[in-house]
């Protein structure tokens, strides 16, 4: 059988070109964000007292919010990333960002945002990275209800703000069973450090709680953190001895607890269990005895 050839006419060339354009458009569909998602972003914008020129930028980029500065969408047009760090933003964070059902990463760090942290963001069913560090957020961080289902959040950075009040209790962390990084340092949190961090989230690798007003003891439960590599809880009011259970977190590389009211003698045999340790800072406490030779 002879192969079929299109006749070389202008009409046939136009037909082939049209077919190719159709195939390309079917293979790579173009999507734009939904009216609901656009509305959620505009609500966030309306809550700002200073947008750093963001409103002008978004208006210049048209009606499709997938084209807006700091906004990234997936192939289906759903907003997956909102990255607006270092934009000079002032004002409040509206809960509307929690309505972005496909949002995976939200970065609002290094701005001058004030007010509270909306519970809708912490309890989001999609967000895996939430970074609101280096702002002026204040008030208490709200507790998650015990009826809240498991949350996907992996990285929570609320450091360098003006948060006050008691640190969220075990009820909140019970639904954070995917948490890998928690940074709440440089605030004014009070109360005790939760004992059940790692009995809930076995993935927890970084816990930074320094420069707060925590009281009580170092929770023995931190020894259950089989993946813990960084623990920073210096510059608080923690008391008592270092619990032996803490040294069961054998992957620890960075242990920093300076400027507390810790006491007792250092157990060299226990410290030797931390075979991956690179940095150990226990300065300006009330420890007694000699520095173990085993260190």
Residue pLDDT, tens place only, 21-35: 344 334 334 457 899
Q: What beta strand segments (E) does 69-128 contain?
A: 71-73, 79-83, 90-92, 105-107, 112-115
**Long-range pairs of 17-23 with CB within 8 A, sequence gap ≥ 24:** none
End-to-end CA separation in angstroms for the chain = 84
Which numeric CATH code is attached to 31-288? 3.80.10.10
Q: Can you spell out the DSSP letters for 264-284?
A: EE--HHHHTT-TT--EEE--S
Q: Among all chains, which residue has been given the structure tokens 């930074």? A: 208
Q: What is the pLDDT of residues 226-283, one digit of tens each?
A: 899 999 999 999 999 999 999 999 999 999 999 999 999 998 889 999 999 999 999 9
pTM score: 0.87
**Residue 48 pLDDT:** 97
């309890």: which residue's tokens? 123
Q: Cα separations (Å) of 227 from 156, 212, 224?
A: 17, 24, 9
């Amino acid at each position: 059988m002879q192969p079929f050839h299109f006749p070389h006419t202008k009409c046939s060339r136009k037909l082939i070109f049209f077919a190719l354009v159709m195939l390309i458009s079917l293979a790579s569909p173009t999507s734009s964000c939904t009216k609901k998602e656009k509305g959620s972003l505009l609500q966030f914008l309306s809550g700002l007292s200073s947008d750093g020129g963001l409103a002008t930028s978004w208006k210049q980029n048209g009606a499709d919010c997938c084209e807006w500065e700091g906004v990234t969408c997936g192939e289906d047009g759903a907003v997956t990333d909102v990255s607006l760090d270092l934009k000079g933003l002032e004002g409040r964070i509206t809960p509307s960002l929690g309505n972005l059902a496909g949002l995976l990463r939200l970065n609002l760090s290094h701005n001058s945002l004030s007010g509270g942290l909306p519970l809708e963001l912490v309890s989001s069913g999609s967000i895996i990275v939430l970074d609101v560090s280096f702002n002026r957020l204040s008030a208490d961080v709200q507790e998650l209800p015990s009826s809240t289902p498991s949350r996907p959040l992996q990285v929570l950075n609320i450091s360098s703000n003006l948060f006050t009040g008691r640190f969220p209790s075990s009820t909140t962390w019970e639904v954070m069973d995917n948490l890998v990084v928690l940074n709440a340092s440089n605030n004014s949190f009070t109360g005790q450090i939760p004992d059940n961090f790692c009995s809930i989230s076995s993935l927890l690798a970084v816990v930074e709680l320094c420069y707060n007003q925590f009281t009580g003891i170092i929770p023995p439960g931190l020894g259950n953190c089989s993946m813990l590599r960084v623990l920073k809880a210096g510059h608080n009011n923690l008391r008592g001895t270092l619990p032996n259970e803490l040294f069961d977190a054998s992957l620890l590389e960075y242990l920093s607890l300076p400027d507390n009211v810790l006491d007792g003698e250092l157990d060299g045999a226990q410290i030797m269990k931390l075979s991956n340790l690179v940095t150990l800072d226990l300065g300006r406490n009330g420890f007694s005895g000699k520095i173990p030779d085993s260190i």
